Amino acid sequence: KIANIYFTMELQRRFGAQGLRAYVLHPGLVRTSLHAAMSNWFAAPLILLLFKTPLEGAQTNLFCSVSDEAVPGKYHSDCRQSELGNPHAENSERAREWWEYSEKIVAEKIKERQY
């Protein structure tokens, strides 16, 4: 998950000036068809009570897509900018390093596949 955060931060830093908007977001706990298989008498009521519906879970994605209040490159939860809660996740130097490492690995894989 931290690699996804780094990627999104660096994507925004590199391409934000060109109009790209990238967001780190968390939809929350969402009830899906995976949970339908849980017939556990204890878990099922908790899932119904605590988890969001798919429509509710999609709200932060929609917020980031259409709202001028969403801050590109930042973490959002429950339709607002939030704190990540992990100081290591906000390390812009580490984000740059991971991006460059990813570029190197992808370039090597592409080179391997060339005939």
Predicted local distance difference test score (pLDDT) of residue 43: 73
Q: Which tens digits make up the pLDDT trace of 74-104?
A: 999 999 999 988 888 989 999 999 999 999 9
Confidence at residue 32, expressed as pLDDT on a 0 to 100 scale:
80
Digit-coded pLDDT (tens) for 24-66 = 999 888 888 776 666 676 777 777 778 899 999 999 999 999 9
Please give the C-alpha separations between residue 2 and each of 48, 88, 89, 94, 103, in angstroms, as whole numbers.
29, 8, 6, 10, 17
Domain count, the chain: 1
pLDDT of residue 93: 96
- Given a contact cutoff of 8 angstroms between Cβ atoms, the answer to whether 91 and 13 are in contact is no
- Amino acid present at 46: L
pLDDT at 111: 92
Which domain covers residue 52, as residue numbers? 2-113
Average pLDDT rounded to a whole number, residues 9-35:
91
